[in-house]
Amino acid sequence: MRAAFFGEVHGNWIALQAAMRDARRRGAEALHCLGDVVGFGPHPDRSIELLRERGIATVQGEHDDAVGNERPIGGACYTNTGEERLARIDHAYTLEKISPGHRAWLAALPRRVSFEHEDVRYLLVHGSPRRQDEHLWESSTPDHLLEMLASEADADVLVCAHTGLHWQAALPSGRMVVNAGALSRPANDGTRSVWYAFLDTEAEDPFSFVPLEYDCERLAAEMRAEKLPAEFAETILTGFWTTGLDMLPVKERLRGRH
């Protein structure tokens, strides 16, 4: 089986469209979205339309929950007032622009999607099985916690997102945890590529990460035209994060510029 997993779309419909085409070209039989379809990007309806038109299984992220249910965006992901201000600006924009039907679709998304293939149980979540907004970091999440989360969720393979950085871990029990990364913005690595996870169960290493080039200049132009905060377009074009830095563990933060 071949399948693709897209994390953290955040309104980047241009990258989502490119990722769908790329995954199909690689032979993906199934496509999955790990949530946070909206937020931080322009034209929120466009990403939702792509997912709905193709019937792509999608889990609910915390931004999807907040927009779908018209709730304030949670403060757990923002550690300073400057970033919280930007998030409020973006949240108000998304609520204004999204259509009622798509808002209802976001509200109804499941927090988990699971499937089984050749007796292997896969569980897809946004943050973790216990919380939408839980960050599972490569450098600072111990194996025993990952084991507990996967075991309690009855998963052999746990696939998540939320952090914006792709990684995978083979656990002592034989279970796996895979963070699919983000389509919304680069991995704080100084390149313009975004990333998604690809599964090929016939390969020696079943999971790999695919760097994806897309028309980021067009996305940045749309961000500016919609008067979204300049920090968002800067990240897209430079490859270095301008927000979310305070949440990063030391090892992950040292990869970036700021």
pTM here is 0.96
Residue-level pLDDT at 225: 98
In tens, the pLDDT along 88-109 reads 999 999 999 999 999 999 999 9
Domain extent listing, the chain = 2-114+183-253
User: pLDDT by residue (tens digit) across 175-190?
Assistant: 999 999 999 999 999 9
Q: Which residue has the tokens 């953290």?
A: 8
Residue range 214-223: mean pLDDT, rounded: 98
- Residue-wise burial string across 65-82, b where 16 or more C-beta atoms lie within 10 A, e elsewhere: bbbbeeeebeeebbeeee
CA–CA distance, 184 with 165 (Å, rounded to integer): 11
What mean pLDDT value characterizes the chain?
95
CATH superfamily of 2-114+183-253: Metallo-dependent phosphatases (3.60.21.10)
Q: Could you identify the residue written with the tokens 């973006």?
A: 90
In this structure, the number of other CB atoms found within 10 A of the CB of residue 172 comes to 9
